[in-house]
Chains A and B, each alone.
Chain A
């Protein structure tokens, strides 16, 4: 009951500040940008590039799966940044402004407070990923050839768990820091650091939540559900849950000073 009230409030807030519109649009643009430019680059260069007469210009065209992979590459970098920035002030900002004290003076549970925020942003992220990958599938099918719609959508669902894991890092940082900017900055630093660690030890850390993106691409290429993919997605879900519990505990302790 209380969760629903708070969750609805988050949905309404994100509707009024247009996050429900602009975040999916930005994701769509990220997803279709690279496939489109890759396809048209040779022709654009040919027409306006002023290449010397007779110059032969050839760029190998990517396969449809590779083209969809380009979408994920953009979402994996700029999309992650967007996730961090849209959620950077969700708790930190409320604590800093003082609304937090107003809300918490009512019999509100810390877990509901955290979960309502996490759920609301999860929904935006899920929606953004699904619509952007539908757009990606549409353009890729048009320009590069057929790829199964279901494969693309399933890959987007897997990828969502990777972004939710990052969202949960942002939520924890939100409970620790008062500055939203610092929350976003540290989220990015942590993701980069985790990526580097996972890359170095990639042969051992095949189930690392950070490997979800790699395994999703592999799934896209051959359509097989590997144990690595299932394992890393499961670990991502477990870590996300743990981080949310940690965030609740931090908030509880923090309120008790």
Chain B
């Protein structure tokens, strides 16, 4: 079931499309990473979804309640740099924003206790936020995003500013959250996206350049390169290799052939059959995968 549908969303600043006609659907219960380099338009997209800034063009619709223009009540939002009222305690702040999101005081207090437990801040409940560390603030930020049980949780670069331990904590927390919530988070680090998300939306220069299930993207984009070498080059080797159906590119570099293929299993069989039939003196047969990382760099540089 789709929770939110974004259609042709565009934001223009000074005649530049920071977000350029992007469309996507978020399925209920999925964890989706908005991936892209800095300046790709991730934050702007999230801020539009949070109802914080207005789109220049395009629509965002919540399937739950189409009549409501103010979808802030369905969304929990963690800004990239969460800032709090430093003079409040963590507990006070959660109760405050809970009440702003239409919870009664009692509900807000119960929920605040629950969340402080969840994000591991129970022992710092009464400490002034001014005294919190960066990691603690990030966790409190996630707690405040969850306070009104939003249908969609949006986290803007939740882990990029944290040290490895803090990062680990937040990723674990997100894994916990995705069991019963829809999460959309932005990151410029592929690793983080791979680690917790089910789907990615790859953004560059304000445009969606790739989206979908992270495994599908993996296999779809899996162009495999096989490195082959012979003790003595057979005749017409390039031509013969290119004749094979699953091979789409052959290059020769320092006596080694780089054979790019689409479907590894079929290609491997066809190649090895050929070598055996022709009795070519094979000395090297090595399979090298193109990682998602390479794909990311390629896609962004396009």
Contacts and interface: CB of A to CB of B under 8 A. Distances in A.
Direct contact between A and B in the complex (CB less than 8 angstroms)?
A: yes
Interface string B58-73: 0000000000001011
Query: What size tier do the contact residues of chain B reach?
Result: 20 to 34
Nearest to B75: A105
A6 B81 contact: no
A106 B97 contact: yes
A103 B82 CA distance: 11
Nearest to A257: B53
Contacts of A257: 13, 53-54
Nearest to B70: A107
Contacts, number: 63
A101 B79 contact: yes
Interface string A100-111: 011111111000
Contacts of B148: 106
A13 B85 contact: yes
A107 B52 contact: no
Nearest to B71: A107
A107 B50 CA distance: 10
A119 B130 CA distance: 26
B110 interface: no
Contact of B87 (A13, A103, A105): A13
B274 interface: no
A3 to B, nearest CB: 11
B181 interface: no
A99 B100 contact: no
A56 interface: no
Contact of B144 (A9, A102, A107, A255): A102
Classify the secondary structure of A's interface with B: helix
A58 interface: no
B96 A5 contact: yes
Given A105-B72, A106-B148, A255-B53, A16 B97 contact: no
Contact of B52 (A6, A9, A97, A105): A105
Contacts of A256: 53-54
Contacts of B72: 105-108
Contacts of A102: 79, 82-84, 97, 141, 144
B87 A101 contact: no
A13 B101 CA distance: 20
A255 B52 contact: yes
Interface in A50-78: none
Interface string B125-141: 00000000000000001
Of listed A6, A101, A255, residue having the most chain B CB within 10 A: A101
Given A105-B72, A106-B148, 9 more contacts: A2-B100, A2-B102, A98-B83, A101-B79, A105-B75, A107-B100, A108-B72, A255-B52, A257-B54
Interface of B: 13, 50-54, 70, 72-73, 75, 77, 79, 81-85, 87, 96-97, 99-102, 141, 144-145, 148
13 contacts: A9-B85, A9-B96, A16-B87, A98-B81, A98-B82, A98-B83, A102-B82, A105-B72, A107-B70, A107-B73, A107-B101, A107-B102, A257-B54
